[in-house]
Amino acid sequence: MIADFMQLIFVGAGTFSSATTGTGPREANTMVLESPGKGTDFGYVYLNVEVERGKYLTVGTYLERNGSGSRSFLVQAGYDWSEEERLKPFEEPLSKSEIMDGDDMLPLEDFQAKLEHNGLFLKDWQRLKTFHHLLAINEILPLDLSVSADILKDYKKIIQSFSRRTLDTSKSDSLKNFLFGKEEHTRIESDYKKAIQELEQDVQTYGNNLAEIVTVTKKSQELGNLKTARFAMAERNQTWVLARVSFWSNQVKAEVSTIRNHAVPHEVNRLMLINLREKAERDKGLAESNQKPLLDAEEKALGTFTKANSENQKLKKAHGILSLLGSEDGLLERFTSYINQLSQHSLLQNMTQEIGSNWAFFEKVDWEGGYSEGLLNIQNKIKTLTEILANLDALRAYNDLNNESSLARWAVDQKRAFTNEEESVLVHFATQGITRTKPEMPNGLRFLPEPKELFEKPVNPLQVDEAGFWLSLDGVHEYVKYVHRQILDSANPLLIKEHFEQQRKGIDDKIRELKVEKNQWQKLLNLIKQVNDIEAKIEAYGQREELKNFIEHPELKLTKEQFDETIQTLEREKEIVSLFELATRDYNTAKENVSENKEALKDYKESLDELVVLDLSTHLKDELKALISDSEIQAGVQAIKEPNSPRELRQEVQQRKSRLLNYTQQQSLIDKLSNAKTEASNARLDSELLEVPIPESFEDSLTNEEVGRLGKEHDKAVLKYQNSFESVVRDFVPENDQDKFKDNYDFLGLCLAILPKSFSSLEFTEETVIQEVENHLKQIARKNQDLNERKFQRIRDLVEDVSTEISSRLDKVRRMKRIFNDDDSEITGGHFVKLEESFNADYPRAWLTRFAEEFNSQSGLFAEEGGLYDRVSKLIGIEEKLVEAFHACGGPSNAHPTATQLLDPNSYFELSFSMETKTGKRNDGSTGQTYAATALLCIARLSLLNPDESTRTTGLRFMPVDEAEGIGTNYNMLMRIAEQNDYQIISFSQRPLPSLQEGGQNVYFLQKNMDTDEKVNHVPTAILGVV
């Protein structure tokens, strides 16, 4: 409320915004109390300002509820309101009675009249510029709020911030806006907008020039490319024409040489084939007469070879047997031994197959004593297993607790623990099949109807060893084995039953296992009895280790007679080998003679068959024969030798036949020569049209492929030029004029059609047109450079203003720090206000300095390629240039600022506000400490509004403090700060403050009028202590 009153008085109702928030909008006019039925509601809020000892001026605001008549006013003793004269103070402060007429409050005009009647003068303003200026020049306020709207708003914020309304000290932007306001940023931004307006025409001109540069440059590039394509086309054409003349001139010579190389061999081969036909007929008749004698000789040699080969095969088999049995010494004995081992091996193999899957049990039997002893071992094994199974059955019955005749059942029923000896006696009798039931004869001879009779006396062994003990039973001594595991040593029937169940399960598993084993042995016994010749096979089994590595050889499966014949064959080895070699040689010779004679007849026949179909009387065409001579033909015939064999004759026929020229081939040679002559003539004619000089001889020998490649390159060059020409026409010639260039590829005509009108007055050729375009572009570029210089200068001025303002704000921060670091600025608890600045990495301040440095070194003619000026010059708008300059001078590449952000000094640094002890310990602070810190910040901010820090201007400095009792002991600190900085504290509290000092303050007590329901206080009771 206090802050709102001070705003209304010094800032005015028009700029007012409440320092506190309510449930609805809190406008200035709503502070006037509403009085239904009494007409227009209005009110006054004013201060009597003691400008000299006992001299006063009054400053205040008149408000109407409807909001239409709010005005600020001053009251003085004089009537001169000019800014050249000081206001005249009066001697007594105005009281409420001055604005009252009985119980009614006077409207402003009546109040003014009443004052004039009493010798005082009031002037009011709705536009407050003059009002604020009068407050400054009359030292009512220490600063002039009329200078700018920003200063007025800043002053309003300071008043609000004393009440903690608008200032959020935890946010950097809030701090910066509060401390520095927006005036300088607004001015810089205004200069920026003004620069944009002033340079708008330049920007348009620059853009037009740039557009023309782009257009003409593109046309120039296209024309340059077109010119290059045109020159390349002409060059390719000349190269291709010369290549054709060279190639076809050489081709004529090559075709003549080819004809000679084919025509002479044709005639030579034709004459040779006539001679070969005659020789083949003679040699064929001779071969036919030799055919029968050769076949008779082959048949005789085959009979001799067949007999010798049979003997030789027997010898090879004998050598195979010898290699298996070793040397010839003792050969019969080794053969006999092998036969015996073979017999034993066969017996063992047969028995293995007969025993089959029972072989593992068979090998467990000891057969060393022969068949009978081994058979007895199996039978004993079966007997032993039978006995073991009987004992296990008895033991199983003993462990069956469900059987009432079971001795174990009896023992469990006794419900006592048995000694090891007692349990061993029970098991001893149980394993013998003794139960409590009398057996039927002759199945059993003993039973134990009352087992307890055994244990009426303690069991006293006569003699004990590790396995058991001797026991006397009515004079009969019987050996009893100790049980492996005692079960009845416990009186717990559940535990005993569990043990018996486990033991019974184990006995059942063992019985099943032994039954399987017994069945296997019984099966083996039955099999062995059925095996034939078992004794011999058991004997062979005894030699199994000796037969383990025995290998059976089918070659040794011989009778005694066959073995004797093998011995005899080995004794005749030399004779057999000699006869076989001779027979083989004679037979091969006879067979080769027959084969050669057959092949000769075949070759002669095939040669004659091929020669018969040939018309060897055919001569060369006259066009070909004219190019060769008879002497060349005769020399070729004489140089050929006659073939030595039928095969060579046949090959000669085939080769020479293939070299004959038929009609088609001869005509092809003639056509190729004629075509080469025609092409050579055409090529020379084209060279004459192009005025290309032809050399007398051609050193380079081009191939047809190379000439074709050059032709394709020429066609590509022509097509490229035509396509480029048509593309330029489509891109730059108006559509209505494009028909002029249809099938008309006039380069100069196209240049005149697409270049600016200024080119029509110039004289240029195909060689000079590009240079003229480049000169035109340079003129436009120089104009744009001048425009760039102007834009660059304006950007530099803006950047310098921003840099200067940043320095000014940082200097203000340093000045405020000095205030906060003063010992008199200590807040309760030993805390001090901490204001720290940090620089924004996204907006490095260094770019501003670098920009100024590079601008001075790179502008104009001194611009470096790729440097600041070069990069920025390529852009049109000032904002584009400014942002590009930011990046070029070190601004982060990932930052995308606007011109407004770059021209805002607050963008380059951040502020933080906190409370710390001298040791640097941070503290969020109590409500009172926080308010004290905010008050110090407001005092520091207000000091910045005074441009001259060295002098302190006279005027009211005050701290409006609402809800003062919440500040606590920090109120004393505020009073100390206020006294040091010439401030007054205007506070509001529901209860008296605890730290009042006698004579140190003026206190006003408000109280409600209990005689009315209206929300109106009595005239406050004053206790004046400040004089």
At 788 the pLDDT is 59
Q: Alpha helix locations (H) across 330-454?
A: 331-355, 359-364, 371-398, 407-413, 420-431
The bridge status of strand 100-101 relative to strand 104-105 is: antiparallel
Distance CA 271, CA 634 (A): 10
Instruction: Choose between 289 and 94: higher pLDDT.
Output: 94
- Give the residue-averaged pLDDT of 570-588: 85
Instruction: Report whether 933 contacts 169 (CB < 8 A).
Output: yes
The CB density around residue 334, as the number of other CB atoms within 10 Å, is 15
Distance CA 843, CA 898 (A): 11
Distance CA 512, CA 527 (A): 23
Which contacts of 269-275 are long-range, i.e. CB under 8 A and separated by 24 or more positions?
269/656, 269/657, 269/659, 269/660, 270/616, 270/618, 270/660, 271/633, 271/637, 272/637, 272/640, 272/652, 272/656, 273/611, 273/614, 273/616, 273/653, 273/656, 273/657, 273/660, 274/616, 275/642
- In the chain, DSSP finds a helix count (H) and a strand count (E) of 30, 16
Does the pLDDT of residue 416 top 70, yes or no?
Answer: yes
Most confident of 332-346, 500-514, 533-547, 833-847: 833-847
Instruction: Choose between 552 and 170: higher pLDDT.
Output: 170
Q: Please state whether 144 falls in left (phi above 0), alpha (psi between -120 and 50) or beta.
A: beta
What confidence tier does 792 reach under pLDDT thresholds 50, 70, 90?
low
pLDDT tens track for 468-491: 889 888 778 888 888 888 877 777
Q: How far is CA 399 from the centre of its chain?
A: 75
- Backbone phi and psi for residue 478, each to the nearest 5 degrees, phi listed first: -135, 135
- Give the residue-averaged pLDDT of 516-533: 82
Most confident of 53-57, 269-273, 304-308, 829-833: 53-57
What confidence tier does 419 reach under pLDDT thresholds 50, 70, 90?
confident
Distance CA 201, CA 208 (A): 10
pLDDT tens track for 869-906: 566 666 656 778 788 888 888 889 888 889 888 889 99
* SS3 state at 121: strand
Among 671-680, 754-763, 875-884, 903-912, the range scoring the smallest mean pLDDT is 754-763
What confidence tier does 116 reach under pLDDT thresholds 50, 70, 90?
very high
The bridge status of strand 468-473 relative to strand 958-961 is: unpaired
At position 997, the amino acid (one-letter code) is: Q
What confidence tier does 59 reach under pLDDT thresholds 50, 70, 90?
very high
CATH topology of domain 2-156: N-terminal domain of mukB (3.40.1140)
Instruction: Report whether 294 contacts 593 (CB < 8 A).
Output: yes
pLDDT tens track for 814-856: 988 888 887 777 777 778 888 899 998 889 988 888 887 876 6
Nearest CA to 52 among 140, 123, 131? 140
Nearest CA to 179 among 192, 197, 162, 167? 167
Instruction: Report whether 456 contacts 419 (CB < 8 A).
Output: no
At 88 the pLDDT is 96
The residue to which tokens 């401030």 are assigned: 983
At position 478, the amino acid (one-letter code) is: E
What confidence tier does 204 reach under pLDDT thresholds 50, 70, 90?
low
Output the average pLDDT for the chain: 78
Q: Where are the domains of the chain?
A: 2-156, 360-538, 792-975+983-995
* Residues in a beta bridge with 42: 64
Q: Extract the tokens encoding 566.
A: 């093998």
At position 622, the amino acid (one-letter code) is: D
At 860 the pLDDT is 46
**Does residue 442 have a cis bond before it (omega within 30 degrees)?**
yes
Give percent of the chain with pLDDT exceeding 90.
7
Among 290-304, 688-702, 764-778, the range scoring the smallest mean pLDDT is 764-778
Does the pLDDT of residue 717 top 80, yes or no?
Answer: yes
- Give the residue-averaged pLDDT of 201-218: 59
- Give the residue-averaged pLDDT of 258-266: 78
Nearest CA to 120 among 150, 88, 154? 88
The CB density around residue 964, as the number of other CB atoms within 10 Å, is 22
Q: Extract the tokens encoding 368.
A: 């060393």
Of how many residues is the chain composed?
1027
Among 499-508, 674-683, 817-826, 997-1006, the range scoring the smallest mean pLDDT is 997-1006
Instruction: Choose between 204 and 942: higher pLDDT.
Output: 942
Among 77-81, 193-197, 701-705, the range scoring the smallest mean pLDDT is 193-197
The residue to which tokens 């091929």 are assigned: 610
Among 14-18, 308-312, 427-431, the range scoring the smallest mean pLDDT is 14-18
Nearest CA to 420 among 500, 471, 484? 484
Distance CA 241, CA 231 (A): 16
At 984 the pLDDT is 86
Burial pattern 150-187, b for ≥16 Cβ within 10 A else e, equals: bbbbbbbbbbbbbbbbbbebeebebbbbbbbbbbbbee
At position 346, the amino acid (one-letter code) is: S
Does the pLDDT of residue 226 top 50, yes or no?
Answer: yes
Does the pLDDT of residue 861 top 50, yes or no?
Answer: no
Which contacts of 107-110 are long-range, i.e. CB under 8 A and separated by 24 or more positions?
107/42, 108/42, 108/62, 108/69, 108/71, 108/73
* Residues in a beta bridge with 480: 469
Distance CA 249, CA 679 (A): 9
At 759 the pLDDT is 56
What confidence tier does 791 reach under pLDDT thresholds 50, 70, 90?
low
pTM of the model: 0.43
Instruction: Choose between 127 and 492: higher pLDDT.
Output: 127
pLDDT tens track for 972-1027: 777 877 777 788 888 877 776 656 666 667 777 777 767 766 666 667 777 776 54
H/E segment holding residue 52: strand 42-52
At position 936, the amino acid (one-letter code) is: L
What confidence tier does 862 reach under pLDDT thresholds 50, 70, 90?
very low
At 1027 the pLDDT is 46
* SS3 state at 1010: coil
* Residues in a beta bridge with 1022: 1004
Q: Extract the tokens encoding 100.
A: 């009252």
At 863 the pLDDT is 47
Instruction: Report whether 138 contacts 87 (CB < 8 A).
Output: yes
pLDDT tens track for 80-115: 999 888 999 999 999 888 999 988 889 999 999 999
Among 364-368, 397-401, 486-490, the range scoring the smallest mean pLDDT is 397-401
